[in-house]
Chain A
């Protein structure tokens, strides 16, 4: 009986503490889940500025968008316009409704009411890291090389996370072709900027990437080195051997190869002497033998 009570007590306290944590932790949830791509009142990053989103959209709208932006975009015109504007749908976020509620609350609390109109249309804010030594623009050759090594997996990430090349490709003369599972990162620096990359790498928003680095986050230094490498790679793309890999390569390449091989085989067989010249004789022999 005592035991039972203890168990119930423990369960209740865990649920409660979970609830309170969620409610209180809008800030940390935002940082973990959203901040890689979004700001509140600091302008566009990868995704739109979320300032005042709590008033602009209903909670249901936001929940649907966050959970599956693509599917929602097919039903909702506003969502579709949003996706078109930013070029790609927001990755599906594995967060609970309560978490979303907490985040919305956090956004509401932190949205400044009077913000200059210019901020909304401002160019992507490139947040300068606190330490100027960690600005990729200031990186030296060694940092870029270190980033290359980390990307290609020649040097292991210090927390034993998987190397970027497993899923990503960067067009670079010193690299072998990378994975086709995730986005090509050749021009990622132009797309996201240092702050975007920093956000993505410190708190990956994509489910597969988040899962991969959950227990093995990248260090600040590694993020800096990778950013430096991405910066360099983006700048020097035109000097790289033109080698583009897209998802259809295998499909089209395989199809073409199949047609070529099939036609060669066909060429071989089309003129083949198909039967032994004695076939008639043999058949007659067998017939004669079996009719006896």
Chain B
């Protein structure tokens, strides 16, 4: 057992309102720079939709992620021989148009325009060329199902759905969508790290954050191809690739990342998970049907004395172990098992988990076109959902419908339990049936409810101390600075010193 700690995340999709506050917070802090204008380290997509960059999930186009290769995994689009062949000419990269051409407006023209018969306008100018441009696409033009024939109907996940199921999703009365906020998954088996010919990418030992060393990056852009989530971006101005850094300077000072801190719906949770690094290869190369289970099994119980002992032996600080015991992520993913990884079939073992959205379950439209509450009970069963389970299973469980249904049963049970508590119109039999089906007790339902709806800042973000004082002691003799800190002068005083 090789225990390591990993900062992991849960996004609760039922709570996401698609406001893009996270994206803007991230953009303002990290990517509002020349060469990074087109990057959205955090973006929010509408599902069904093609996402950003367009069709990023289609690895037949972008050749990202890992593929099973006997007992192990190999990169789909990079690796030793493939990488060498493509090293001067990376063939599967998204082009700027696959993202979008970033633009701004000439706002000053609105103020400076001479008086005339018409309103002055601020023309759109490209942030790449600086020339006036015709805007053709934006990073979230599939938002709220807009441009549906162009975007939503081209959702890559539809390849698992029958034509009838697809059509059903676009019937006006049955139409449904949800948001999917995405950041770098800081995977346990990161394809970007595996693909880099320069060794510029690395996974931080202390918290598992995946970073690109800007000094070692030599712009091969293999990581851009290799990341199946397309969360590594090439900065055309600096000639280096960049990616989400999980706001590690904030994490090190005990703050959550900006996207999480600013989240209006409070959908985001962050905490430490302990995992067994010895299992990574086995898990990443296991059969697709077992991927989700084996992935979740790699995370260890931080209350298990054996795990604690092994963690300490590996140099994991007590504070980190304590944070892992209080981790909200551990509760969602391991205790309650209601959060699932996004596209596990890419085999990168992502550390960002999603609570799937329990899409409108309350009503549907009958064949006569009458809006119907489905059943006599307001909260209908999981099987009455509008969204095809197959669609969500292709997003979160590599096609395993039952896993999604299991999660939905639990989420549904929590709602029935809350209705029983607040409205008190649920019979005891109904409640116990729902609870039994979900395999849950009222106590757990209440815990899920509390962490979902009432959680405080400290409960949502359990950030371990970074122990930078220990880190710096490894590099420098801190005693050398004793007596040299405090107060100084920029200009020498005339007298003294």
Tell me whether A and B are bound partners. Answer: yes
State the A residues within 8 Å of B (CB). 267-269, 271-273, 276-278, 280-282, 284-285
* Contacting residue for B86 out of A268, A276, A278, A281, CB 8 A: A268
B309 within 8 A of A: no
Chain B interfacial residues counted at CB < 8 A: 23
Q: Residue of B at shortest CB range from A273? A: B92
Tell me the nearest residue of chain A to B55, going by C-beta.
A277
Contacts of B92 in A (CB 8 A): 271-273
Q: How far is the CA of A287 from the CA of B348 in the complex (A)?
A: 41
Which of B61, B85, B136 touches A273 (beta carbons < 8 Å)? Answer: B61
Contact: B150 with A284, CB < 8 Å? yes
Bound complex: CA of A277 vs CA of B59, how far in Å? 12
Contact of A276 among B62, B88, B98 (CB under 8 A): B98
- In addition to A269-B89, A276-B97, A282-B97, 19 A-B residue pairs with Cβ atoms within 8 Å of each other are A267-B85, A268-B85, A268-B86, A268-B88, A271-B86, A273-B61, A273-B92, A277-B53, A277-B55, A277-B98, A278-B54, A278-B97, A278-B98, A278-B137, A280-B150, A281-B147, A281-B150, A282-B136, A282-B137
> B91: CB under 8 A from chain A?
yes
| B54-A277 in contact (CB<8A) | yes
CB distance from A263 to the nearest CB of B (A): 11
B93 within 8 A of A: yes
Across chains A and B, the number of contacting residue pairs, with CB separation under 8 Å, is 46
Could you tell me if A268 and B55 are in contact, using CB atoms closer than 8 angstroms?
no
Is the CB–CB distance between A281 and B91 below 8 Å? no
**How near does chain B come to A34, taking the closest CB pair, in angstroms?**
61
Q: Looking at the assembled complex, report how far the CB atom of B227 sits from the nearest CB atom of chain A, in whole angstroms.
A: 15
Nearest neighbor of B151 in chain A, beta-carbon distance: A281
Nearest Cβ distance between residue A260 and chain B, in whole angstroms? Answer: 14
Chain B interface mostly: loop
B475 located at the interface, meaning its Cβ lies under 8 Å from any Cβ of chain A in the complex: no
Majority secondary structure, A binding face: helix
> Does B95 contact A276, Cβ atoms closer than 8 Å?
yes
Known A276-B97, A277-B98, A281-B150: A268·B137 in contact at CB below 8 Å: no
Please name the residue on chain A nearest to B82 by beta carbon: A271
Contact with A along B61-98 (1 / 0, CB 8 A): 11000000000000000000000011011011111011
Per-residue contact bits, chain B 131-165, to A (CB 8 Å; 1 contact, 0 not): 00000110000000001001100000000000000
B86 surroundings in chain A (CB, below 8 A): 268, 271
B contact residues around A282 at 8 Å (CB): 97, 136-137
- Give the distance in Å from the alpha carbon of A278 to the alpha carbon of B151 in the complex: 9
Residues B315-374 near A (CB distance < 8 A)? none
A134-B228 Cα distance, complex, nearest whole Å: 82
- Shortest distance from the beta carbon of B82 to any chain A beta carbon, whole Å: 9
27 pairs from A and B in contact (CB 8 Å cutoff): A267-B85, A268-B86, A269-B89, A269-B91, A271-B86, A271-B91, A272-B91, A272-B92, A273-B91, A273-B92, A273-B95, A276-B95, A276-B98, A277-B54, A277-B58, A277-B61, A278-B54, A278-B97, A278-B98, A278-B136, A278-B137, A280-B150, A281-B137, A281-B151, A282-B97, A282-B137, A284-B150
Q: Which of B357-409 contact A (CB under 8 A)?
A: none
Nearest residue in A to B150 (C-beta to C-beta)?
A281
A277 CA to B142 CA, complexed, in Å: 14
The CB with the most chain A CB atoms within 10 A, among B53, B54, B86, B89, is that of B89
Question: Contact: B136 with A285, CB < 8 Å?
Answer: yes
Interface bits B31-56 vs A (CB < 8 Å: 1, else 0):
00000000000000000001001110
> How far is it, in angstroms, between the C-alpha of A176 and the C-alpha of B406 when the chains are bound?
80
Asked if B89 contacts A268 (CB within 8 A), the reply is: yes
Closest Cβ–Cβ distance, residue B146 to chain A (whole Å): 12
Contacts of B54 in A (CB 8 A): 277-278
Bound-state CA distance A177–B53 (Å) is 56
Q: Which residue of A lies closest to B141 (CB)?
A: A281
